[in-house]
Amino acid sequence: MAKYVAEVLWTLKDDEDFLKGRYSRGHSITFDGGVELAASASPHVVGKWAVEAAVDPEEMLVAALSNCHMLTFLHRARLAGFLAVRYHDAAEGIMEEIAPGRLALTRVWLRPAITWQGDAPTAPQLDQLHHEAHDECYIANSVKTEVVVEAR
């Protein structure tokens, strides 16, 4: 079993009014390797109280799904004997109401474009590699969000 940690820190500023909802949602996330990330709620959720230059949880979930798929895909491609030299994904997620007053990131599209050196996989082989990557991606296995892979 592996353990993963993240430290999240938010502090109210002197000129903010927490009880009236007038406070920045900006905060920091520090990971166990020491990387610190500027984070915030999404501007789509809290408007002007978000920090647009920071990453929000919805973006992080889309990125985590994309990142996990990529890493698993590259591993599967290597095992199949294909030499990938570039992987670019333009991932996108949508937030929808799933019940009155309840929102969820319901679907994430992964749109990977891979550059190969030497023999490239055939379309059926590429589909199989993506299928295996999706099945083995522990982030995808951890969420209810539908993940759709649209290889480019």
DSSP-derived 3-state class of residue 126: helix
92-99 vs 102-110, strand pairing mode? antiparallel
Tell whether pTM > 0.75.
yes
Q: Three-class SS string for 48-95?
A: HHCCCCCECHHHHHHHHHHHHHHHHHHHHHHHCCCEEEEEEECCEEEE
The residue behind tokens 């019940």 is: 99
Task: State the 10-residue block means of pLDDT for the chain, 152 residues long.
Answer: 94 97 97 95 93 96 98 98 98 96 96 98 97 97 93 82
> 12 is in which domain, residue-wise?
6-49
Domains held by the chain: number: 2
Q: Are 54 and 39 in contact (CB under 8 A)?
A: yes
Q: CATH number, domain at 79? A: 3.30.300.20
Residues 19 and 36 in one domain: yes
* pLDDT (0 to 100) of residue 126: 98
**Nearest CA among 14, 26, 22, 13 for reference residue 52:** 26
* pLDDT (0 to 100) of residue 151: 87
Asked if residue 1 belongs to a domain, the reply is: no
Residues 43 and 84 in one domain: no
